[in-house]
Amino acid sequence: MYAVYSLCIANLRKKKVHNGLIGLLILLSTLLLATSVTVILNTNNLFTDMHNKTHGSHEMLELGDELHDPQKVHQWWSEQTGVTTSELIPFKILAGITKHQGEKSSVGLSSKSVYMMDTSPRPYAVDELMFAEGIESSNPDKGNVWVPSAIAYLYDISVGDTLEFTAGEKNFELKVSAVIVDIPYGGPFPTNARIWMNHQDYNEQLHAIQGKDKYMMGLRFDDYSQSPRYWEQFENDMGTPYLDIKTNFDEMSAFYLIMNKIIGFIMIFLGIVMILVALFTIGFTISDDILSNYKTIGVIKALGLSSRRLIGVYLAQYVLLAIVTIIPGLIASQFISNVIIESTLSSLKTAANQVSLEGNLISLSVGVIVFIVVVLCVFLYANKARLVEPMQAIRYGMSESDNSTMTKRFAAKENHRNSFDRAPLLVVIGFRNMLKNRKASILMTLLASTLSAVLVLGFILINSISSMKETSASWGYDSSDISLSVLNTSVFDREEFDNAILSDSRIKSIGWLGAVSGILSSEKSLNSDQLTSQPMNLNLHVMDGSYDETGYTTLRGENPRYKNEISIGIKVAKQLNKDVGDIVEAYIEGYKHKLTITGIYQSIANKSLSARITVDAVKVNRPDYNDYFGVFIKLKDIRDTDRVVNEMNVKYKDSVLAVSMQTLLDSSVKQAVASLILPMSIMGLLFTGVTMIIVYSISRINIRKESKTYGIYKSIGLTSTKIRWSITLGIVVLSTIGAVIGMFVGVYILPMILGSILTGYGIAELPLVLNWEGIIALACVTVISAGLGSWASSRVVATTSPQILVIE
């Protein structure tokens, strides 16, 4: 046993740098795998816990009085067993907020739609509000409002700031007295928000807005899977399907979970790759050690040390190494997981509800799995020591069969001219080193491929989100140049506005977009009165103008152009089992239509649970329809955008807010970019550093094995610099091959796998913006890091005399 211990300690001392490298690989693979599992697990848990703690709604209803009587709907749901119903909360919609105190108000903030809520006294049975900042109270005091954490944290709004709102022909100001967590409207990347007002302020400030109050109510089911049964009963009892706006739990939770799922996927992939690299390195190291010390092992076995104890030497060495590195990896994963989750789920954070990570046992299980995999790998490769025969090892320094093979190879080389005879000397030396050490070459190529794929994927994701203006149509948004919101319908003359806009030579097209609630269902079978699938209640986008000119696209088919046409989201198509050319039955604001599907599109905003129709379809039954929430303008020259926006805001300052589409997208995606930059930067730096260290270590091993050859080269006049350049050249060629492979993987294969995760969010094809200059530049980082590691390792050739090299 003492012999095993002595040999184990000797191995650890002899190769400190290399053992430290392998330990680092095991640590990083543990770190990445444990972090990914912790992030995915806690993302779901934190959201679910907060949703349960606030008695969050599973469905949110928005009601007017045109389609349903809000009081009757509320009463019906209140009478249902197994359903908890919130109060009926009055609200009116305003466009935008202006922040006066502190930093200059963001254009993105002023472009948000805000639901001004008439706050009733807390607590609430459904969707209770959690206070993140400010003094908790039953309702806001006069002159104060509560704002959701989603926009407060994103736009740096704090307690004490003053916000300005526009209602009718006047503006009014309210002071922020609290920041609250509002689950249904508090997710990342918010496009709208609920502002909670004092009852007296609500009546005084919003009376100038035309139209009656609308109402919200939340429904929380004891068993959410029973929701379709309740809605069937609702239709039977009320005599009509539900026709107003309904937001379900999937739509509420989508943006809370999507970013961490993307980050978790990337980390799992990288963790698996890292552990594979670690195992390959361990196997390479053990195999190389057995071959390099074949004669020594033979002598030791001849002296009586059994094969089992020899294997025990390697097992003891790497078991100790694994224990020492896995534990810090698990501890560090908790810290990094906490940073990532706090960054992506900041809107759920309150002073009394700090992020507390769960799943320590699962993280520990990840560490145990890594440990077992390492031990099995060590045992597999160390088992080669059993094959060492003492007599052959002492005589040949290798097995007899290997000696015979080498002798034949040397004889063959004497009889055949080498294909490198006419190549430059440095190239011959570099390629000889590369071809002779094939396992090391494969490992370095694999490393270069992995690093290149990691860097390229991270760059593509961040660049694609940052450049969403180029692919906004593929995400389900429009690709117009300017977006307008009508702030005051009482002083806005649409006919005059349209005439002015269309007479402007800079304007290419204009489209008015609204939304109505509708129900889509498959047609009944000819031989049955039963529907082939459940009807779907969803939002129908209404376009007065051309979807195509506004920039909306489809995956298959075309956008609707006539009153009997419709295009549907991919999840709607899947649920109804419909495709282009099929017919669907649609209830649009209570009126039945038969529409032909002309196209199928994808949209991340509502998980593709929506449809598009023309305004002509609505005007069949509502000729006076004029409820548009957005105006989208396309310009002939995009360089005129800022000038046109400024002119519109000056000319229609009392009725319209104009914003460039680039500004809107920037305000929506900056949080996504910020969430991705930190983890991708960390992983990119880790892999770059690991690649340099591994290349350094492997090159050092190869140089040690070839030390006699390099000593001969130096003794016959070849300079150290030329030898070092030849070694580095071979590594650079290998890493270049790996970088090219990694580019292909990072551009095509990994986004394809990542896209499969986003199918649940209504995205069938991941829209990417490929900046090849940046992709090639990051691939070059792989080559440079590998070259630097190789150059640093070859320094031993320059600092050692030829005589000592030959002796070694």
664 vs 484: CA distance, rounded Å: 11
Domain final position from 243, 277, 304: 243
- Which tokens in the block code for residue 589? 């604001």
Q: How many helices (H) and strands (E) does the chain have?
A: 28, 22
Same domain, 443 and 494: no
Tens of pLDDT, residues 498-546: 888 888 888 888 888 887 877 887 765 434 444 455 677 777 889 998 8
776 vs 795: CA distance, rounded Å: 29
pLDDT at 558: 93
Tens of pLDDT, residues 361-407: 777 888 888 888 888 888 887 776 665 555 544 554 444 444 444 44
Phi, psi dihedrals of residue 67, rounded to the nearest 5°: -105, -40
Nearest CA to 178 out of 153, 158, 199 is that of 158
The CA-based angle 534-535-539, given to 5 degrees, is 140
Sign of CA dihedral 492, 494, 498, 500: negative
Average pLDDT over residues 442-447: 80
In sequence order, what DSSP letters do the residues of 553-579 get, joined into one string? --SEE----STTEEEEEHHHHHHHT--
Q: Residue 410 pLDDT > 50, yes or no?
A: no
**346 or 778: which leads in pLDDT:** 778
Same domain, 677 and 656: no
Same domain, 629 and 583: yes
pLDDT at 468: 76
Helices (DSSP H) in 293-437: which residue ranges? 294-302, 307-344, 360-382, 390-396, 400-415, 425-436
Q: Residue 40 pLDDT > 80, yes or no?
A: no
pLDDT at 531: 47
- Which tokens in the block code for residue 62? 């928005």
Residue 132: band (very low, low, confident or very high) from pLDDT cuts 50, 70, 90: confident
Is the CB of residue 475 less than 8 Å from the CB of residue 763? yes
Same domain, 123 and 216: yes
- Which tokens in the block code for residue 677? 């930059």
Q: How far is CA 317 from the centre of its chain?
A: 39
Phi, psi dihedrals of residue 661, rounded to the nearest 5°: -65, -30
**128 or 3: which leads in pLDDT:** 128
pLDDT at 528: 42
pLDDT at 219: 93
Q: Residue 684 pLDDT > 80, yes or no?
A: no
Q: Residue 408 pLDDT > 60, yes or no?
A: no
The CA-based angle 467-258-242, given to 5 degrees, is 105
Average pLDDT over residues 313-320: 79
173 vs 164: CA distance, rounded Å: 4
For the chain, what is the domain count? Answer: 4
> Which residues fall within 8 angstroms of residue 554, CB to CB, at 6 or more apart?
567, 599, 600, 601
Residue 102: band (very low, low, confident or very high) from pLDDT cuts 50, 70, 90: very low
My answer on whether omega of the bond before 123 falls inside 30° of 0, hence cis, is yes
> Which residues fall within 8 angstroms of residue 539, CB to CB, at 6 or more apart?
245, 515, 516, 517, 518, 606, 610, 611
709 vs 229: CA distance, rounded Å: 81
Percentage of the chain beyond pLDDT 90 is: 7
- Please state, rounded to an integer, the average pLDDT across all residues of the chain: 78
**419 or 158: which leads in pLDDT:** 158
Helices (DSSP H) in 437-467: which residue ranges? 438-466
pLDDT at 75: 92
pLDDT at 149: 85
Is the CB of residue 196 less than 8 Å from the CB of residue 146? yes
208 vs 656: CA distance, rounded Å: 16
Percentage of the chain beyond pLDDT 70 is: 77
Q: Residue 356 pLDDT > 80, yes or no?
A: no
pLDDT at 587: 83
Same domain, 104 and 166: yes
In sequence order, what DSSP letters do the residues of 242-300 get, joined into one string? --SEEEEHHHHHHHHHHHHHHHHHHHHHHHHHHHHHHHHHHHHHHHHHHHHTHHHHHHH
User: Helix 16-53 and helix 307-344: axis angle, to 10°?
Assistant: 40
Question: What is the model's pTM?
Answer: 0.71
Same domain, 737 and 704: yes
Residue 560: band (very low, low, confident or very high) from pLDDT cuts 50, 70, 90: very high
pLDDT at 211: 65
pLDDT at 601: 92
Same domain, 495 and 637: yes
Is the CB of residue 790 less than 8 Å from the CB of residue 696? yes
User: Helix 720-744 and helix 707-715: axis angle, to 10°?
Assistant: 130
Same domain, 604 and 681: no
Same domain, 87 and 198: yes
Residue 220: band (very low, low, confident or very high) from pLDDT cuts 50, 70, 90: very high
Tens of pLDDT, residues 280-314: 777 777 776 666 666 666 666 665 666 677 677 77
HSE toward the beta carbon, residue 392, CA cutoff 13 A:
12
495 residue type, one letter: E
Is the CB of residue 429 less than 8 Å from the CB of residue 726? yes
Residue 670: band (very low, low, confident or very high) from pLDDT cuts 50, 70, 90: low
**22 or 706: which leads in pLDDT:** 22
Average pLDDT over residues 223-251: 82
pLDDT at 416: 46
548 vs 423: CA distance, rounded Å: 60
Give the CA distances from residue 394 to residues 248, 301, 309, 400, in Å, rounded to whole numbers and listed in that order: 76, 11, 20, 11
Tens of pLDDT, residues 583-626: 998 888 778 889 999 999 988 777 788 899 999 988 888 888 77
Same domain, 118 and 208: yes
HSE toward the beta carbon, residue 299, CA cutoff 13 A:
7
Nearest CA to 291 out of 5, 8, 705, 699 is that of 705
- What is the rounded (10 degree) CA torsion for 740, 746, 747, 748? 100
Q: Residue 173 pLDDT > 90, yes or no?
A: no
Same domain, 657 and 674: no
Domain final position from 188, 210, 243: 243
Domain final position from 243, 268, 296: 243
Is the CB of residue 225 less than 8 Å from the CB of residue 231? no
Residue 431: band (very low, low, confident or very high) from pLDDT cuts 50, 70, 90: low
Same domain, 99 and 43: no
Q: Residue 95 pLDDT > 80, yes or no?
A: no
Q: Give the 3-state secondary structure of residue 122.
A: coil
**476 or 666: which leads in pLDDT:** 476
473 residue type, one letter: A
Phi, psi dihedrals of residue 12, rounded to the nearest 5°: -65, -40
Is the CB of residue 628 less than 8 Å from the CB of residue 505? no
For residue 173, list its beta bridge partners: 164
**705 or 203: which leads in pLDDT:** 203
Q: DSSP code of 143?
A: T
């053992």: which residue's tokens? 19
Is the CB of residue 791 less than 8 Å from the CB of residue 724? yes
Residue 476, Ramachandran bin (φ over 0: left; ψ between -120 and 50: alpha; else beta): left
Residues of the domain holding 801: 417-471+665-808
Average pLDDT over residues 763-769: 83
Average pLDDT over residues 445-460: 84
